[in-house]
Amino acid sequence: MGLDDDIAILSAAPLFGFLARDALRLLSFAAERRSLGAGERLFAQGERADGGFVVMSGTLTLTPRGARAEPVTMGRSSLIGRLALFQRGERPCDADATRDAEVIRITPTLMRRVLEEFPDAARAIHADLSQDLAAFTTDLVGLGDRFDPITP
């Protein structure tokens, strides 16, 4: 895959569409690449989350543990671990290659460097994440309102 292909894939991934070509080039050069064979595990639930992943090719299945958990398939340009781009934590699910795949890992350190060098993108990403958080909070309040009449 060439640099133009990498930039096209990255620019189609959530959040990375806010980045200019030079920022995407930096990510492409500085991110760690990893190839996975079909059935190979990228990470397991509970492992340390030390960065997010963008799927460059192939597919991965994310499998949360729990009785009602439904697996999710992620393909090209998918972002896995959005919050892990900014903060280390724990992986909430297992991630396994459904078929041969390539991913790049973007650490919080690399993401911080890109955002410092491209402040306009940092502002746009901040606004997008803020909107997502506000919508999530509104949904939680609505859910709480639905449970209030049930509470004895």
User: Higher confidence at residue 65 or residue 152?
Assistant: 65
Predicted TM-score (pTM) of the model is 0.85
Residue 152 falls within a domain, yes or no?
no
- Residue 76's contacts (CB-CB under 8 Å, 6 or more residues apart) are 9, 12, 55, 56, 57, 58
The CA distance from 72 to 95, in Å, is 9
- Over range 46-54, report the average pLDDT: 96
Q: What is the CATH number of the domain that holds 97?
A: 2.60.120.10
Counting the structural domains of the chain, the total is 1
Residue 49 falls within a domain, yes or no?
yes
pLDDT at 38 over 90: yes
The CA distance from 41 to 60, in Å, is 9
User: Higher confidence at residue 81 or residue 69?
Assistant: 81
Write out the residue range of the structural domain in which residue 89 sits. 3-147
74 backbone dihedrals φ, ψ, rounded to 5°: -120, 130
Residue 135 falls within a domain, yes or no?
yes
Residue 107 falls within a domain, yes or no?
yes
**Tell me, what's the pLDDT at 151?**
62
